[in-house]
Structure 1
Amino acid sequence: MKIAFIVGEFPVLSETFILNQITGLISRGHEVHIYGSRPEDMSKMHPDVERYQLLKRTYYVPSILTNYLGRVLKGLGLIVTNLHKSPLVVLRSLNFFKYGKYAISLRLLYSVIPLLQSEQYDIIHGQFGMHGIEGQIFRDLGAIKGKLVTSFRGYDISYYVQEHGEDIYNELFVKGDFFLANCEFFRQKAIKLGCDRNKIVVLRSGIDCSRFQFKARVPNPNDKIRIVTVGRLVEKKGIEYGIRAIAKVANVHPNIEYNVIGDGYLKEEFYLLIEELRITDKVKLLGWKNQQEIIDILDNSHLFIAPSVTAQNGNQDAPVNTLKEAMAMGLPVIGTLHGGIPELIQDNVSGFLAPERDADAIAEKLIYLIENPNIWEQMGRVGRAYVEQNYDMNQLNDKLVNIYQLVCDRTNSDKLPEPRLLQEVV
């Protein structure tokens, strides 16, 4: 099959779930092209980007100038040099009456440039809800052809809906051929917004379990208990509550170390909080790390916290990949009763769940784990088994191919199986 991925920036270190699908499809003999924007910083990339030579498969939107006059002048140049490739598509992208600000800002014109003279695709896959909308518009313009599949992954079905209104996906739900959600929590949100329940199934985001070696966790009496969180330093990751919990734990068990991997706009605020709580010797903000660096840190850690919260703007998390990776490596985990996380962590079995924004509850669970290291190995083994069974990338990529094939074989008049039967098919 020929497949077009419509993404935001590519490649992005924090979006290994997209990378895993791309490489999985290529490994299965399918042709994948990627359409998106070039990141400002490409100094750190996942090794699979080079291994699979993905930049050669990527078509970037021309950089859009913030100065509108400069943008217009550059846009005129793009029209002159590209009009012959597909005159109707270029002209339709300037339809201010139909596409409003998207056309007036010239973002639609810039966005269709990489698609001019694009191939006929079997599948167009919008990797987030807003990319599905883009795919729908591109297809309406005649810039790209193929069946349209859209994934809902988190902020696109939470924050984005709150920001743009509950009718934002109405047209996409009608014109889109099929939809995927990375957890049942977000599938139900999409159905509530108007998605046909017979056109959407859960396809979890997977990890390559073979890259994450299991190790039974045991404390070293002469060393610190190492606790770790991996995530962007943004509100919905709830790292503030992880830091506050560590301050409470340190009053009881001072021989601990908390490493936070990631970066974001809250970094300076967290530095101040760490100083205020007087735990600068216990909490380290390590910044961005590539996957191998993360694996090395997880390998030398004992416990993992994923303290996600619903942000003020409505943004929510699915079961995050770094949490799956920690479980695959045998770390007992603590998560929150948030979004899709309870679908991953079996409370009191592979780890613990705590209420959102409850540092006291997180601290209580940490103290219990520190004082009962005899349960670590069993929790770790159960977590590893659950991830292998439900989140293995290879199994999920096989399911993705089955879904694509089902969508490709379906005509407009065909009815899809009931969701329960469809989930069994994929």
Structure 2
Amino acid sequence: MKIAFIVWRFPVLSEAFILNQITGLIDRGHEVHIHPVNGVPAKNPGKAHPVIEEYNLLKRTYYPPTRPENDLLRLLKGLGLVLTNIDKGSLRTLQFLNPWKYGPEVATLKSFYRTVPLLKDGSYDIIHCQFGTLAPIALAFRNAGILKGKLITTFRGIDISKYVQEQGEHFYDQLFEEGEFFLANCEFFRDRAVALGCNPQKIVVHGSGIDCSKFVFKPRHFPEDGRVRIATTGRLVEKKGIEYAIRAVAKLADTHANIEYNIIGDGVLKEHFQQLITELNVGHVVKLLGWKQQREIIEILDNSHIFVAPSVTAADGNQDAPVNTLKEAMAMGLPVISTLHGGIPELVEDGISGFLVPEQDPDAIAEKLSYLITHPEMWHEMGQAGRARVEEKYDMNRLNDELVAIYQQLVNSQLPNQKLQQQPLALTSSPSH
């Protein structure tokens, strides 16, 4: 099959779940084109995911032409793109400038730029929008005949929480009517899509997978040096709830002097967190490590004993699905503490693979941390349960087989089976890349 991945930017270090799907499809012999509608992300030197080079993914990526900063130059260049591509049907893009018909992501000069790679070759078996926010763009392009193929949309969190709160509950009405099929990365977001008007027969849960073979299980025992290492991986943004974990660790710093809390990630709240660490006088305990490559993250987790993922509902409504960083930690045998938030209870079984606490509750996090620190005999059993859960529900290879099966049924004009996830899937051959 020939498949278009519609993404906002590419590559993005925090979106390994998209890379896992791309490489899985390539391994199964399919042709994947990546279309980042907003171009290249901000530079992050030395932090590219290794599979970008391994699979030569940039050669499969079709970037729109760069847009000048100057408004006049941007307009002139956009008109030039239309004129030089008339033979490819560029005049069809003029219809996108109708703000009464299209939203702000389509009725804009950006559409001239975004359609250029598609004017050369926009015909696909499957058009896969990796966030719901991208789907109105793809739908408009398809309706104009610029993009061709069965349209499938994955809801991943921000698109079905914050974005709906901003745009209104009818924002996806046209998409639900005209899109062929939908995926949600957890039951929580599937239920929300259905409540917004998605046909329940046209949406299934398809989780974000991880490569379990890269996250080796290790039994956790109380360290000989007595230093208990706690870790969190995630963007330094409000919905990750990291502030509450920092406050929780600060509450334990006096009674559990030999603890260490490492936070892996970067983001807009970095300076705020650094100030908070200083105010709480826990700079000797809490460390902001910045972004790390996957192998560096694995090394840090391998030397950790407890993992914390304190996600919260942000003020703008943004919510999380079962986050991949939590799956990775569980796959490696770490007992975890997370929150009763979004799709996370679908991953973490409270009291079995870890503990779930209310959102925005540093006291509850501190209580569970203290309990785990003083009951290390629980670590191994919880770690085993977490590994089993991840292997059962979030193994990348099984999920990629499932994705191919969904694609194939859509191409054959069949509605994918609602019970697809429970059915055994025949493994496909994996040609070299």
TM-score, length-scaled by structure 2:
0.94
Query: Which residue is 2:201 aligned to?
Result: 198
Q: CA deviation at 1:46?
A: 0.7
Q: Are the counterparts in 2 of residues 260 and 287 from structure 1 also a CA contact under 8 Å?
A: yes
CA distance in 2, matches of 1:84, 1:17: 37
User: Matches of residues 58-73 of structure 1 in structure 2 within 5 Å?
Assistant: 58-73=61-76
Q: CA deviation at 1:387?
A: 0.5
Q: AA paired with 1:178?
A: F
What per-residue deviation string (whole Å, max 9, x for no partner) do you get for residues 376-422 of structure 1? 01110111111111100000000000000111111xxx6665x3478
- Size of the aligned set, in residue pairs, is 422
Query: Which residue is 1:30 aligned to?
Result: 30
Moved more, 117-126 or 351-360: 117-126
CA distance in 1, matches of 2:246, 2:423: 42
Query: Which residue is 2:430 aligned to?
Result: none
Indicate yes or no: 2:358 matched with 1:349. Answer: no
Say which SS state the counterpart of residue 151 (structure 2) adopts: strand
Moved more, 76-85 or 320-329: 76-85
Indicate yes or no: 2:294 matched with 1:291. Answer: yes
Indicate yes or no: 2:319 matched with 1:316. Answer: yes
Query: Which residue is 1:359 aligned to?
Result: 362
Q: CA deviation at 1:103?
A: 5.4
Q: CA deviation at 1:98?
A: 3.2
Moved more, 109-118 or 51-60: 109-118
CA distance in 1, matches of 2:179, 2:231: 40
Q: CA deviation at 1:218?
A: 1.1
Moved more, 325-334 or 41-50: 41-50
Indicate yes or no: 2:16 matched with 1:13. Answer: no
CA distance in 1, matches of 2:375, 2:5: 46
What per-residue deviation string (whole Å, max 9, x for no partner) do you get for residues 4-31 of structure 1? 0000110111000000000000000000
Q: AA paired with 1:369?
A: L
Q: Which of 259, 266, 289 is matched with 2:269 structurally?
A: 266
Q: Are the counterparts in 1 of residues 335 and 353 from structure 2 also a CA contact under 8 Å?
A: yes
Query: Which residue is 2:132 aligned to?
Result: 129
CA distance in 1, matches of 2:29, 2:197: 35
User: Matches of residues 384-395 of structure 1 in structure 2 within 5 Å?
Assistant: 384-395=387-398
Moved more, 379-388 or 77-86: 77-86
CA distance in 2, matches of 1:416, 1:379: 35
The gaps in structure 2 that reach 5 residues or longer are: 426-433
Say which SS state the counterpart of residue 84 (structure 1) adopts: helix
CA distance in 2, matches of 1:60, 1:115: 10
What per-residue deviation string (whole Å, max 9, x for no partner) do you get for residues 310-356 of structure 1? 00000000000010000000000001000000000011000000000
Query: Which residue is 1:209 aligned to?
Result: 212
Say which SS state the counterpart of residue 102 (structure 2) adopts: helix
Q: Which of 32, 51, 66 is matched with 2:54 structurally?
A: 51
Change (3 A) 1:315 1:254: same
CA distance in 2, matches of 1:260, 1:405: 41
Moved more, 135-144 or 146-155: 135-144
CA distance in 2, matches of 1:423, 1:195: 22
CA distance in 2, matches of 1:376, 1:100: 50
The gaps in structure 1 that reach 5 residues or longer are: none
Change (3 A) 1:98 1:145: same
Q: Are the counterparts in 2 of residues 86 and 117 from structure 1 also a CA contact under 8 Å?
A: no
Q: CA deviation at 1:119?
A: 4.4
Query: Which residue is 2:336 aligned to?
Result: 333
CA distance in 2, matches of 1:289, 1:422: 33
What per-residue deviation string (whole Å, max 9, x for no partner) do you get for residues 342-372 of structure 1? 0000110000000000000000000000000
CA distance in 1, matches of 2:8, 2:374: 44
Change (3 A) 1:260 1:57: same
Q: Are the counterparts in 1 of residues 162 and 319 from structure 2 also a CA contact under 8 Å?
A: yes
CA distance in 1, matches of 2:345, 2:415: 32
Q: AA paired with 1:133?
A: P
Change (3 A) 1:151 1:242: same
CA distance in 1, matches of 2:182, 2:79: 36
CA distance in 1, matches of 2:424, 2:21: 19
Q: Which of 166, 169, 174 is matched with 2:169 structurally?
A: 166
Q: AA paired with 1:282?
A: V
CA distance in 1, matches of 2:104, 2:383: 51
CA distance in 2, matches of 1:102, 1:256: 47
Query: Which residue is 1:2 aligned to?
Result: 2
Change (3 A) 1:335 1:175: same
Q: CA deviation at 1:42?
A: 4.8
Q: Are the counterparts in 1 of residues 220 and 379 from structure 2 also a CA contact under 8 Å?
A: yes
CA distance in 2, matches of 1:96, 1:306: 41
Q: Are the counterparts in 2 of residues 83 and 90 from structure 1 also a CA contact under 8 Å?
A: no
Counting aligned pairs with the same residue, the percent is: 62
Say which SS state the counterpart of residue 120 (structure 2) adopts: coil
Q: Are the counterparts in 2 of residues 416 and 422 from structure 1 also a CA contact under 8 Å?
A: no
Q: AA paired with 1:25?
A: L
Query: Which residue is 1:138 aligned to?
Result: 141
Q: AA paired with 2:317?
A: G
Say which SS state the counterpart of residue 116 (structure 1) adopts: helix
What per-residue deviation string (whole Å, max 9, x for no partner) do you get for residues 145-190 of structure 1? 0000000001000011111111111000001000000000000000
CA distance in 1, matches of 2:100, 2:155: 29
Query: Which residue is 2:42 aligned to?
Result: 40
Q: Which of 248, 252, 260 is matched with 1:249 structurally?
A: 252
CA distance in 2, matches of 1:227, 1:82: 56
Q: Indicate the RMSD between aligned Cα atoms, in angstroms.
A: 1.6
